[in-house]
Amino acid sequence: MIDSHCHLADKQFDTDLDDVLVRAKDAGVTQVITIADTIAEAEKCVQIAEKYDQVFATVGVHPHEAKSWQRGDSERIKAMISSSKKVVAIGEIGLDYHYNHSPQGDQRAVFLEQLTLAHELSLPAVIHCREAVEDIRRIVEEVEPLQLVIHCCTEKWDNISWAVERGYFLSFTGIATYPKSTDIHHTIKKCPISQLLIETDSPYLAPIPHRGKRNEPAFVAEVLKCVAHLKGISMEEADRVTTENTVEFFRLC
């Protein structure tokens, strides 16, 4: 199993990251991708990835933080990518029109700039998309990046099938384990397993039976169980395929 998206640089992991990673290993999680939200957090993600063999990092600025984007941030991102072999993607980047923590125009400009960078560097992109799927689609079709994943996918299948048709990936979190997530269950059933990743997005979004607690990479097993159930395949088969997908997507080695 691989947790394809978590936030190990979050303050909530500052005191016990060693233990968190031991528990992940004990649960069968062989690799973990730690995702950045800001330039400062990206630096911390790279440090964590350099420290732990099984951890890889992404670098990028979240749409919530688009308002703090500065000239030169693209260069800072490029410098981090060339400084470490453990940086495997640009992310998370995208649009969030639910919270609108940054003006939508800023979000679109910062997303376009970073997605273009991913395209130029032939790196995969990790996309955050909330109530903004039409603008995400428009910008993705304009840039045509090599590879991307719509992380924490909560979209109805008809709204997101375009991404799968273009060869992109969908990634699912513990939200899929909640009984009321019927649209997500339908999307998981429709998404080819060859284009499906699993993640925790920890420390947020803990799956059942851990709901309400701090989430952590070990709990990705609950997401895997849910996907296997919805696909009507064994845990072993779901594990094998999603692990292969993640290794291929991020070109882990």
CA distances from 26 to 14, 207, 224, 240 (A): 20, 18, 16, 17
Residue 177 · residue 226 · CB < 8 Å: yes
Between residues 184 and 228, which has the closer beta carbon with respect to Zn ion?
A: 184
**What's at 57, amino acid-wise?**
A
Least distance from Zn ion to the Cβ atom of residue 234, Å: 29
**What does the alpha-carbon distance between residue 178 and residue 218 come to, in Å, rounded to a whole number?**
18
Site map (CB under 5 A) of Zn ion, residues 120-139, x = contact: --------x-----------
CB of 34 to Zn ion, least distance (A): 10
Q: Which is nearer to Zn ion, 128 or 210 (CB)?
A: 128
CA distance linking residue 69 with residue 56, whole number of Å? 24
Which residue in the shown chain puts its C-beta closest to Zn ion?
Answer: 128
Total residues at the site for Zn ion (CB under 5 A)?
2
Crossing angle (nearest 10°) for helices 220-231 and 235-250:
110
**Residue 201 or 222: which CB sits closer to Zn ion?**
201
How many Cβ atoms from other residues are within 10 Å of residue 47's Cβ? 15
CA distance 128 to 43: 20
Q: What is the per-residue binding string for Zn ion in 164-203, x denoting contact by CB under 5 A?
A: -------------------------------------x--
**Which is nearer to Zn ion, 2 or 228 (by Cβ)?**
2
Tell me how far, at minimum, the Cβ of 151 lies from Zn ion, in Å.
6
* 130 or 185: CB nearest Zn ion: 130
Binding of Zn ion by 155 (CB under 5 A): no
Number of neighbours of residue 5 by Cβ within 10 angstroms: 30
CA distance 197 to 74: 27
Q: How far apart are CA 172 and CA 169, in angstroms?
A: 10
Nearest approach, Cβ of residue 205 and Zn ion (Å): 9
15-44 residues in contact with Zn ion (CB under 5 A) are none
196-225 residues near Zn ion, rule: CB under 5 A:
201
Taking the complex as a whole, how short is the minimal distance between the CB of residue 134 and Zn ion, in angstroms?
18
Binding site for Zn ion (CB under 5 A): 128, 201
